[in-house]
Structure 1
Amino acid sequence: MRAVTCTDAKLEVVDLPSPRPARGQLLLEVLRCGICGSDLHARHHCDEVADITAEVGYDGMFRSSESVVLGHEFCGEVLESGPRTSRFRAGTRVVAFPLLRNGSAVHPTGLSTAAPGGYAEQILVEESLAFAVPNGLSTELATLTEPMAVGLHAVNRSQIGRGQVAVVIGCGPVGLAVIAMLKARGVRTVVASDFSAGRRALATACGADVVVDPAVESPFERTAGHGHIERAPELFELAVGSMEKLRRIPLVPWNRIYQAAEALGAATPKHPVIFECVGVPGVIDQLIAGAPLASRVVVVGVCMQPDRIRPVMAINKEIDLRFVLGYTPIEFHNALHLLADGKVKAAPVVTGSVGLAGVDEAFTALADPETHAKILIDPRSDATEPRPVSL
């Protein structure tokens, strides 16, 4: 089969043996595979990633000297089932959670030589992690299940309420997925911020209510009027003023009212939930400094370099800082069905398509935020540069 390998940061179309499904596995014909930002990072930073994952106990991430088939966002058609594996008929379109059992270990698809990815004509997946594409959902949109699951996981981990303001910093594919999932969740006010005019337009298309150019204004300026506390003196006044009012209430002890308010969440200052989807050094510290007091910052963007923050600033503002990674099988399943039910505005994310011979050119194109957001690979296409996609 034809595939694209990455070795020492070089992308090359090669011929590889067709994989054979083991027990519990499916062999798929790859219909589409998305190029993920993590693939762009892995091309040049795989050794750093491998060092980090080794520190947390997984030593199977590929290194620059190895030849790997990237690609973990894919939709395929079942060609063959492994022994004692019969849940899907041949010809069924499926998407799959990108983990593969190889021997006694499980590996991330497209990020390990033990689990070749979807930049190929064929791919192996675990039957237990495969989900049939429902409701006639197009192959292109089904391929977005994985990145949309990333957005869904970030929204779930944020614990945002519908009445809270969401601020999405960075409107690349990850930021767009977060915006789409926030609106699917019913969050009423989503502020999106990006320097790129093209990506701001995509943010609007994905459902953002307010779009900001941070070169012109702070996204936090557009959250005014929602009761957020911007400066420490406001918090001091809130504490003193609230206690003065509570002490004046007759008959009921003030502490019981306070405890009831805490139980209902009414004693916590109103605050936005901020999604950092850039992954560039310095951004987290900028958000801590610029955000209203008591804000929750959810870090979704992957920064490949060491970064610095000022803990004393975060402490003084009592910033809640959370880091997120990936998604769960149920979130993957739910993302697929949100797409199939038309509850997620995901179509604007897809901006181009190439064949295997065009993958190197697609990587170059994705470096320009004004040109592309998500490029899909069609292994049967002869396109050597990104072509427009109509969904």
Structure 2
Amino acid sequence: MKAVVSQHSRLGVTDIPEPVPGEGQLVLEVTRCGICGSDLHARHHADAQADVLVEAGYEGFARSHEKVVYGHEFCGTVIEQGPGTSGKIRKGTPVVALPLVRMNNGMHAIGLSSSAPGAFAERVLVQEAFAMPVPNGLPPDLAVLTEPMAIGLHAVNRSGITRKDAAVVVGCGPVGLAIVCVLKTMGVETIVASDYAPGRRALAQACGATTTVDPAHESPYGGLGDRGYTTSLADQAEKGLAAMQALRKLPIAWHIVLGSLSKLGYTAPKRPIVFECVGVPSVIDAIISQAPLNTRVVVAGVCMQPDQIRPVMAINKEIDLRFVMGYDPLEFRDTLRMLAEGRLDASPLVTGTVGLEGVAGAFDALAVPDTHAKVVINPRSHAHLTKD
């Protein structure tokens, strides 16, 4: 079958062996596959990522010298069932699947390991246990967004954000846009999206951002308005003194009143939720330095180089720093349902479609941030991205 193979950072269409389903596995005819930022990173930084994952307990990540078929954001139609499958997902059923598969040498990430060829191909192998039928006649161009949108849902879930909290999304690539879409679906009232590229700011607005900011000219935190955040340690001390002076005037002991208010949640500091979706050195430290005190920072951007932060700044400002990766099966299923029911509108993300022959050009186009967000592969198409 035809597939796009990467080796030594070069991409080319070639013939590879047909997938053979093992115990509990399905073969899918690929209908669509998205090009992910992880694919772009792996093309040039596979070895660095592989070294990190070895330390984390996974030795199967792609290496630059290996022949790898990328593609972990996919939907397809079941065409073959392996031994030991339940038969609950019949042939001809359109499905999406979590991109993990058990091979002879263990579990592997589909499309990010030479042991588990991905969906930049005509067909792909998946685990039946991870496959989910596509409901409500959801078209492939939207079903294919299940995996990247699940990334956004997981980041938002990990943030603990509520509808009344304000969100700042720093970086409006596909991950940042997915987060904006999910925040809108959840009814978050204030969503500030920050990006240098005008095209990406426009996409963020289409996805549901209430304010867009060019960080070259203004701070994204200025877009939050006057929400009572504290931006200075001196101001925090002044507010603390004013509160204690008021409590001292009450007929009840101040510590009893303050303790009761604390239990009811009235003393919790006001803070925004910031989603870091850039993934380049210095961005996390800049957020820690510039954001209001007590800000919760959710790091969703994948930085492939060593980075530096100043812990003393984060300590003094009591910054809450959380890192996110992936999703769980329930989040994947919930994302698929939200897309199929029309509650989650991710359609603005798709900015282009190519065939297998157009993948190399799409990688080049995606390196220019203002033109495209999510490019989708249709293996039966011969399309290339048109040049401006």
CA contact (8 A) 1:179 1:208 kept: yes
Provide the C-alpha distance between the structure 2 equivalents of 1:107 and 1:261, rounded to a whole number of angstroms. Answer: 50
**Structure 1, unaligned runs of 5 or more:** none
1:210-225 matches, within 5 Å, as 210-225=211-226
Letter in 2 for 1:126: Q
Q: How does 1:133-212 map to 2 (within 5 A)?
A: 133-212=134-213
Separation (CA, whole Å) in 2 of partners of 1:289 and 1:343: 36
State the Cα distance separating 1:365 from its structure 2 match.
0.7
Is 1:42 aligned with 2:39? no
- Quote the RMSD (CA, aligned, Å): 1.3
Question: Retained in 2: the 8 A contact 1:145–1:339?
Answer: yes
- CA distance 1:381–1:59, shift in 2 (3 Å): same
In 2, the alpha carbon distance for the partners of 1:351 and 1:53 equals: 31
Superimposed CA distance per residue, residues 149-186 of structure 1 (whole angstroms, 9 cap, x where no aligned partner)? 00000001100111111000000100000000111111
CA deviation after TM superposition for structure 1 residue 214, in Å? 0.8
Measure, in 2, the Cα distance between the counterparts of 1:387 and 1:91. 36
Within 2, Cα distance between the matches of 1:386 and 1:278?
26
1:102 deviates by 0.8
Structure-2 separation of matches of 1:128 and 1:256: 54
Compared with structure 1, are the counterparts of its residues 387 and 151 closer, same or farther at alpha carbon in structure 2 (3 Å cutoff)?
A: farther
Instruction: Tell me, in whole angstroms, the C-alpha distance in 2 between the residues paired with 1:259 and 1:206.
Output: 42
Q: Which residue of 1 aligns with 2:287?
A: 287
Give the residue type in structure 2 aligned to 1:185: M
1:128 paired with 2:101, answer no
User: Which letter does structure 2 place at the counterpart of 1:151?
Assistant: G
Q: What secondary structure, in the 3-state scheme, does the structure 2 residue paired with 1:61 have?
A: coil
Aligned length, in residue pairs: 387
1: CA distance, partners of 2:97 / 2:250? 59
Displacement, 1:223? 1.1
1:319 aligns with 2:319: yes
Structure 1 residue 345: Cα displacement: 2.2
Please state how far the C-alpha of 1:63 moved relative to its aligned partner. 0.4
- Which residue of structure 1 lines up, in the alignment, with residue 94 of structure 2? 93
d(CA) in 1 for partners of 2:36 and 2:105?
Answer: 28
Q: CA deviation at 1:370?
A: 1.7
Paired residue for 1:257? 257
Structure 2: distance between partners of 1:264 and 1:65: 58
* Aligned-pair CA distance for 1:261: 2.3
Q: What's 2:231 paired with?
A: 230
The DSSP-based 3-state class of the residue aligned with 1:95 is strand
Question: Residues of 2 paired with 1:264 and 1:175: CA distance?
Answer: 33
What whole-Å deviation, never above 9, does each CA across 1:56-84 have from its counterpart, x for those lacking one? 11111110110011010000000011113
Written as runs of structure 1 = structure 2, the 5 A alignment for 1:356-367 is 356-367=356-367
Q: Distance in 2 between matches of 1:80 and 1:58?
A: 29
Instruction: Answer yes or no: is the 8 Å Cα contact 2:353–2:384 preserved in 1.
Output: no
254-263 vs 228-237, greater mean Cα deviation: 254-263
Cα deviation, 1:107-143, whole Å, max 9, x if unaligned, reads 1111111111010000011111111111111111110
Distance 1:203 1:364, change over 3 A: same
Q: State how far apart, in whole Å, the 1-side matches of 2:116 and 2:265 are.
A: 46
Q: Distance in 1 between matches of 2:146 and 2:306?
A: 30
Q: CA deviation at 1:40?
A: 0.2
Q: List runs of 5+ in structure 2 lacking aligned partners.
A: none
What SS does the corresponding residue of 2:367 show, helix, strand or coil? coil
**Structure 1 84/121 Cα, relative in aligned 2: closer, same or farther at 3 Å?**
same
Provide the C-alpha distance between the structure 1 equivalents of 2:97 and 2:386, rounded to a whole number of angstroms. Answer: 25
Q: TM-score, normalised by structure 1?
A: 0.97
Match of 1:239 in 2: 240
Q: Offset at 1:256?
A: 2.8
Task: Indicate conservation of the 8 Å contact 1:25/1:124, yes or no.
Answer: yes
The amino acid across from 1:119 in the alignment is: F
Corresponding position of 1:384: 384
Q: How does 1:348-359 map to 2 (within 5 A)?
A: 348-359=348-359
TM-score, normalised with respect to structure 2: 0.97
> Cα offset for 1:369?
1.6
Shift of 1:17: 1.4
Distance in 2, matches of 1:229 and 1:28, equals 53
Match of 1:337 in 2: 337
Q: Secondary structure at the match of 1:41?
A: helix
Q: Which residue of 2 aligns with 1:301?
A: 301
* Contact kept? 1:166, 1:273, Cα under 8 Å: yes
In the alignment, structure 1 residue 328 sits paired with structure 2 residue 328? yes
Tell me by how many angstroms 1:387 deviates.
9.5
SS, match of residue 141 in structure 2 = helix
**Equivalent-residue separation in structure 2 for 1:26 and 1:261 (angstroms):** 56
Partner of 1:70, secondary structure, is coil
